[in-house]
Amino acid sequence: MTPLEDLPLDEQVLILKARLDRAERALREAETALEGRMRELDTANKELSQLESELAERLDTETLFFFNDMATTEMATIYGERGKAFTASEGSANLLGLPWGEDGSLERLVAAIHPLDRSRIMRAGMEFFQTFTPGVDYTFEHRITRYDTGEVRWLSWVLRREKGEGERPSSVYGTVRDITESRANERGVKALQLRAQRRVVELDRLSAKLTEEQRKTAEALAVRNEFLSEMAHEIRTPLNSLNGGLELLSDALGPSSKDLEVVEQAADQLTGLASRLIEQAGDEQAPFEASTASDRQTAGAVDTADGKPKILVAEDTESNRYVIERLLDTIGCETVVVGNGVEAVEAAREQTFDLILMDVMMPIMDGEQATQAIRAMSGPASRTPIIGVTAHSLQAERERLLSVGMTACLPKPVRREALETAIRTAMIGREAVQPLNARFDHELFQRAFFDLPEAYRDRMREAAKKDISDYGEEVLKCAKGDDGEALSKAAHSLKGVALNVGAIGVVEELSRYREKLAEDPSFTSAALRREIASSLLAFDDLYRALVHSD
């Protein structure tokens, strides 16, 4: 390429002009771009300034809210750097009781410390700067005396010390707030807790004392009840002979004898006295009932298919043995008499009995043990009905005796009417060796008694039991005798009395028995026997529960 200076002058001018034009265009483009960039920077600066202004205004607002909140909650902040004095927020003036806006400096805070806390809090402050770990919050509590009222208030400090790094110096900052009310509340709660703890200890002591007194009372009551029970037993044992003898004399002399009536009334009074003693000894448990002199009627014979029922009598008292044997004889029973439980077990093992009359309190082996031994035998002897005779007559004892295998229970003194009913009931249900569940319509049962005056209800109960027993026995006899007309009449009577007292189980079993008997003359009567027996056994309990529950 030819150098510019070697070209003709005219060409050099043209080339230089072209270069100048390009340089001017480039300059104008650069100026235009620079102006645009400057405008952008100016806009950005304005936006930044606006943002800074908004942030500053927001910060001022938040700061104002913060300090207002601290003032409201009686809180202040402190801050200090190494080599500079500590500063405190305006809230410190409020904590100290100074007018709002007045300087609440750290010095004034320190000066307000209560004299009792000053030396302690100053030592704690020195330890904080010298030995406490940086970067960890530490809490201190102390009292101050307010400048305005002289009132003593409690303050809580939370302080943190930060190490300096690089150009940043070490610093201390923290918060302080008034905890007087919360501290008082805590102390009140603690006081209540202490009172509660003392109350619990006192209650435990009183509870232990009460338990000990209850133990002593229970022991004394047990001794008293044992004495009353023994006394009642001692009274009832001769009473049994007395009442039985009176019944035998009544047969001989006639019920119209005035002398006999006076003696019977005295015997009934003694019986009532013994019953009250039993109830007291049994902690007012309900007794199971016995008939009184007014219930005595002329006995009818109790028969079995083979003639007189054979009854084993286990009784340790000679006079009672004599009276019971005579009573059984008057109602048509053959008796074998033994003096204790061992003899009763041996007799049951060697002979066959229709029923056993078992005294509960006997020497060598008592009635409960003898009953359990008989129930443990093999063969028919284990199923023999056993009637327990007891001097205690409490419902709890009755339940216990039934649970060991007795069929029914009789309280002393034994009345002929009650004895006859018990024997008939046991004979009807002799296939069962445990108490049976009867089926009653409770509403019909209650209605049968509530429709009567109260004075007649006990008499109605005894009459219903006797009718069910008598008619039931008549039905079974007629069925065996193949007497259709007599069977129909007895069944009608049994159904009537059973429906009257709601004994629906008897009615259902009677209907079923007659239907099956018409189809098969040899059909067994076991189910009907069990239902009649269970209804008679449950009658008194149901009466007490539904009619005479008080």
Name the H helices within 112-156.
115-130
Question: What global pTM score does this model have?
Answer: 0.43
At residue 371 the predicted structure's pLDDT band, cuts being 50, 70 and 90, is: very high
pLDDT tens-digit readout, 120-142:
888 888 888 888 888 899 999 99
| Model confidence at 449: pLDDT above 60 | yes
Q: What whole-number distance in Å separates Cα of residue 16 and Cα of residue 11?
A: 9
Higher pLDDT, 264 or 199: 199
Residue with token string 């009532």:
272
Task: Average the pLDDT over 240-244 and give the result.
Answer: 64
The number of beta carbons lying within 10 Å of the beta carbon of residue 262 is 10
Task: Average the pLDDT over 44-62 and give the result.
Answer: 73
Higher pLDDT, 225 or 537: 537
Q: What whole-number distance in Å separates Cα of residue 42 and Cα of residue 36?
A: 10
Q: What are phi and psi of 164, to 5 degrees?
A: -75, 145
pLDDT tens-digit readout, 409-429:
888 778 888 888 888 777 765
Pick the range with the lowest mean pLDDT from 7-21, 101-115, 174-188: 7-21
% of the chain beyond a pLDDT of 90: 12
Confidence (pLDDT) at 98: 87
Confidence (pLDDT) at 2: 66
Confidence (pLDDT) at 275: 60
| Model confidence at 161: pLDDT above 80 | yes
Q: Residue 430 gets which letter from DSSP?
A: T
Higher pLDDT, 291 or 526: 526
| Model confidence at 253: pLDDT above 80 | no
Tell whether omega for the bond before 413 is within 30 degrees of 0, i.e. cis: yes
Confidence (pLDDT) at 29: 82
At residue 523 the predicted structure's pLDDT band, cuts being 50, 70 and 90, is: confident
473 with 506: CB under 8 angstroms?
no
Confidence (pLDDT) at 355: 92
472 with 532: CB under 8 angstroms?
yes
Confidence (pLDDT) at 379: 82
If phi > 0 it is left, if psi is from -120 to 50 it is alpha, else beta; for residue 503 that is beta
Q: What whole-number distance in Å separates Cα of residue 147 and Cα of residue 364?
A: 98
Instruction: Give the E-state strand segments of 310-446 in sequence order.
Output: 310-314, 334-338, 355-359, 386-390, 408-411
At residue 99 the predicted structure's pLDDT band, cuts being 50, 70 and 90, is: confident
Q: What whole-number distance in Å separates Cα of residue 62 and Cα of residue 60?
A: 6
Q: ∠ CA 420-373-423 to the nearest 5 degrees?
A: 5
Q: Is 521 helix (H, G, I), strand (E, B) or coil?
A: coil
Mean pLDDT of the chain: 78
Higher pLDDT, 363 or 184: 184
Confidence (pLDDT) at 358: 94
User: Maximum distance among all alpha carbons in the chain?
Assistant: 189
Confidence (pLDDT) at 494: 92
pLDDT tens-digit readout, 373-382:
998 888 888 8
Confidence (pLDDT) at 338: 93
Q: What whole-number distance in Å separates Cα of residue 470 and Cα of residue 174?
A: 103
Confidence (pLDDT) at 258: 55
| Model confidence at 395: pLDDT above 70 | no
Confidence (pLDDT) at 435: 47
| Model confidence at 285: pLDDT above 70 | no
Handedness of CA 31, 36, 42, 45 (dihedral sign): negative
